[in-house]
């Protein structure tokens, strides 16, 4: 039984490892290969029933292979009568462009959307039919080898020159809700500049009076109405304007134009908070007064030495000495030195008074008490005085005899 269990476990582990290897081998491509050359491959589109009817999401269906315009370097497909396929039309049809033959075991492995390589959940491109649309005669899907794009009722025709070929300038233009002057295709203040990503843009400041209001706009090429682009990539004469909205608390509206998709766009730039004067002054004024005043005033009040305790200590020492050693006038004179200030203990014993700085064994001016060295000196002084007094008594006694 144990052997059978071991065999089963080993089999399960092997199966799991093989499955993991298979999943790893078929993982989606997440970035362009270093040697990527779009011309080496062919492409097909996959999408939902809104675009492809009953053939939705079938990457191996040859009916939706894309054609190649070699002169323009663009792959394309025109889908006719999209609104009627399977009665499943809705306003935001989804699709991808799949690289055919990249991995026979996983035809989904390498695909593109409108931003580049597509991978993961919610990575499909969107065809925006608009809220009012009920049908679309033609939906065109295009691919330039790096990104997808789409447009409605403007079929791709081989040999038609791209409207953006050559050097051009672009101007944002629109109604009076955002633009002043309105609908002027060559106003210098609305001329767009190209960023590093290739997208053109211009930022238009707005005021609070313009908040919470819609506006219409387009991007005019070369400052004329000959060619202008809306938010669907449609540049045909009479194409509808793009629609935008100015959000509350917006500081500006940024109008964009992407030559890769031929689409104009917009985004609201949120208003930024400006610090108040109180917030600006607080960190500079408060620390200056506290740091400057505190250290200068406090030490000044405590710095003076305590002269009074020093005098008291000297006086006490004198009184003690005189009360203890008063047998003769000479002894009394020798003990008077401490009251004249700080003295050297050794000099006092020899009868010489010093008036300069004190050495070790002097009265401490900081505490007002006699230091340990001074106590020893006083004791020695008292012993000398007592011996001198005894010698005087003995001498007098001998003289009297």
Q: Which of 268, 180, 250 lies closest to 209, judged by CA?
A: 250
Q: How many CA atoms lie within 13 A of 230 on its CB side?
A: 20
| One domain, residues 78 and 104 | yes
Quote the pTM value: 0.43
Question: Is 18 part of a structural domain of the chain?
Answer: no
Is 297 within a domain?
no
pLDDT of amino acid 226: 86
Same structural domain for residues 71 and 127?
Answer: yes
Q: Do 93 and 124 reside in the same domain of the chain? A: yes
Q: ∠387-391-393 over CA atoms, to 5°?
A: 115
Bridge partners for 95 per DSSP: 47, 125
- Mean pLDDT, rounded, of the chain: 72
Q: Note whether 141 and 184 are same-domain residues.
A: no
75: which residues sit within 8 A by CB, 6+ positions away? 43, 66, 67, 68, 69, 97, 142, 143, 144, 145
Query: pLDDT tens digit string along 358-399?
Result: 434 444 444 444 444 556 666 777 777 777 776 666 666 666
pLDDT: which is higher, 248 or 323: 248
Q: Are 394 and 313 in the same domain?
A: yes
Residues 179 and 207 in one domain: yes
Concatenating the DSSP letter of every residue in 86-104 gives GG---SEEEEEEEETTS-T
Residue 239 inside a domain? The answer is yes
Q: Can you give the CATH number for the domain in which 143 is found?
A: 2.60.40
What per-residue confidence (pLDDT) applies to 211? 96
Count of the separate structural domains present in the chain: 3
Residue 339 banded pLDDT, cuts 50, 70, 90: very low
In whole angstroms, what is the distance from residue 59 CA to residue 101 CA? 10
Quick one: what percent of the chain has pLDDT higher than 70?
A: 59
* 184 and 266 in a common domain: yes
Q: What's the whole-number mean pLDDT along residues 276-305?
A: 50
Q: Are residues 117 and 67 in the same domain?
A: yes
Q: In the listed set 121, 152, 183, which residue is the last one of a domain according to the structure?
A: 152
**Residue 350 pLDDT more than 50?**
no
Q: Are residues 213 and 119 in the same domain?
A: no
Residue 252: inside a domain, yes or no?
A: yes
Provide long-range contacts, Cβ within 8 A and 24+ apart, for 142-145.
142/74, 142/75, 142/76, 143/43, 143/66, 143/74, 143/75, 143/76, 143/97, 143/112, 144/38, 144/73, 144/74, 144/75, 144/260, 145/38, 145/39, 145/73, 145/75
Picking from 208, 240, 270, the residue at the C-terminal end of a domain is 270
pLDDT exceeds cutoff 90 at 200: yes
Q: What is the pLDDT of residue 323?
A: 44
Q: In this predicted model, what pLDDT tens digit does every residue of 214-261 receive, in sequence order? A: 999 999 999 999 899 999 887 877 788 999 999 999 999 999 999 888
2 within some domain = no
Does the structure show a pLDDT above 50 at 320?
A: no
Distances (CA, A) of 212 to 215, 216, 248, 264, 269: 10, 14, 5, 21, 14
Higher pLDDT, 22 or 185: 185
Sequence-distant (6+) residues with CB within 8 A of 334 are 348, 351, 381, 385
When pLDDT is cut at 50, 70 and 90, the band that residue 303 belongs to is very low
Res. 274 pLDDT band, cuts 50 70 90: very low
From 244, 270, 296, the end of a domain falls on 270
Q: Are residues 146 and 183 in the same domain?
A: no
Specify the pLDDT at position 362: 42
Q: What is the mean pLDDT of residues 258-286?
A: 70
Residue 283 tokens read as 């960190």
Lowest mean pLDDT: which of 38-42, 127-131, 195-199?
A: 127-131
Q: Indicate whether 178 and 132 sit together in one domain.
A: no
The 8 Å CB, 24+ separation contacts for 372-376 are 373/345, 374/317, 374/345
Question: Which residues are bridge partners to 243 per DSSP?
Answer: 216
Q: Would you state the pLDDT for residue 331?
A: 39
pLDDT digits (tens, 9 = 90+) for 48-61: 887 888 888 999 88
In DSSP terms, which residues pair with 23 in a beta bridge?
none
Question: Average pLDDT in the 172-194 region?
Answer: 96
Query: For residue 79, what is the enclosing H or E element?
Result: strand 74-80
How would residue 327 be classed by pLDDT, with cut points 50, 70 and 90?
A: very low
The model's pLDDT over 115-159, given as tens digits with 9 standing for 90+, comes to: 899 987 778 988 876 655 556 678 899 999 999 988 877 888 887
Residues 142 and 176 occupy one common structural domain: no
- Expressed as residue numbers, the domain containing 190 is 170-270
Q: How many CB atoms lie under 10 A from the CB of residue 77?
A: 21
- The token duo for 112 is 């593109």
Q: For residue range 82-126, list pLDDT tens digits in order.
A: 654 434 444 468 899 999 988 878 888 899 998 899 987 778 988
In a domain, 214, yes or no: yes
Identify whether 242 is part of a domain.
Answer: yes
Give the pLDDT score at 343: 39
Residue 189 has pLDDT above 50, yes or no: yes
* Most confident of the following: 8-12, 17-21, 162-166: 162-166
Q: Evaluate if residue 8 carries a pLDDT over 90.
A: no
Q: Is 65 strand, coil or helix? A: strand
Domain of 197: which CATH number? Answer: 2.60.40.10
């Amino acid at each position: 039984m144990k052997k059978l269990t071991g065999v089963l476990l080993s089999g399960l582990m092997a199966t799991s490892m093989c499955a993991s290897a298979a999943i790893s081998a078929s993982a989606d491509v997440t970035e362009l290969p270093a040697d990527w050359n779009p011309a080496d491959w062919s492409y097909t589109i996959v999408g939902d029933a809104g675009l492809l009817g009953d053939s939705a999401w079938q990457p191996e269906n040859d009916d939706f292979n894309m054609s190649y315009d070699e002169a323009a370097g663009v792959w394309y497909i025109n889908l006719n009568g999209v609104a009627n396929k399977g009665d499943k039309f809705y306003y935001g049809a989804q699709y991808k462009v799949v690289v055919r033959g990249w991995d026979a075991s996983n035809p989904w492995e390498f695909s593109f959307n409108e931003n580049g390589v597509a991978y993961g959940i919610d990575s499909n491109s969107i065809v925006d039919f608009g809220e009012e649309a009920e049908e679309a005669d033609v939906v065109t899907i295009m691919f330039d080898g790096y990104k997808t794009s789409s447009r409605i009722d403007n079929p791709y025709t081989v040999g038609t020159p791209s409207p953006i070929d050559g050097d051009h300038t672009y101007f944002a233009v629109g109604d009076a809700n955002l633009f002043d002057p309105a609908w002027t295709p060559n106003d210098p203040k609305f001329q767009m500049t190209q960023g590093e990503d290739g997208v053109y843009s211009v930022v238009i400041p707005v005021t609070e009076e313009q908040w919470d209001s819609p506006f219409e706009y387009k991007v005019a090429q070369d400052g004329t109405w000959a060619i202008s682009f809306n938010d669907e990539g449609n540049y045909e004469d009479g194409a509808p304007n793009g629609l935008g909205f100015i959000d509350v608390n917006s500081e500006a509206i940024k109008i964009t134009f992407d030559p890769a998709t031929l689409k104009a766009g917009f985004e609201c730039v949120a208003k930024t908070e400006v610090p108040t004067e109180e917030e600006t002054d607080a960190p500079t004024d408060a620390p200056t007064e506290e740091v400057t005043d505190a250290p200068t005033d406090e030490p000044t009040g405590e710095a003076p030495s305590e002269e009074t305790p020093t005098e008291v200590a000297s006086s006490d020492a004198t009184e003690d000495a005189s009360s203890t050693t008063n047998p003769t006038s000479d002894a009394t004179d020798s003990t008077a030195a401490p009251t004249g200030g700080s003295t050297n203990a050794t000099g006092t014993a020899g009868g010489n008074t010093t008036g300069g700085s004190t050495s070790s064994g002097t009265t401490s001016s900081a505490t007002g008490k006699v230091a340990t060295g001074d106590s020893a000196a006083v004791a020695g002084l008292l012993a000398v005085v007592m011996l001198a007094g005894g010698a005087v008594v003995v001498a007098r006694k001998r003289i009297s005899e």
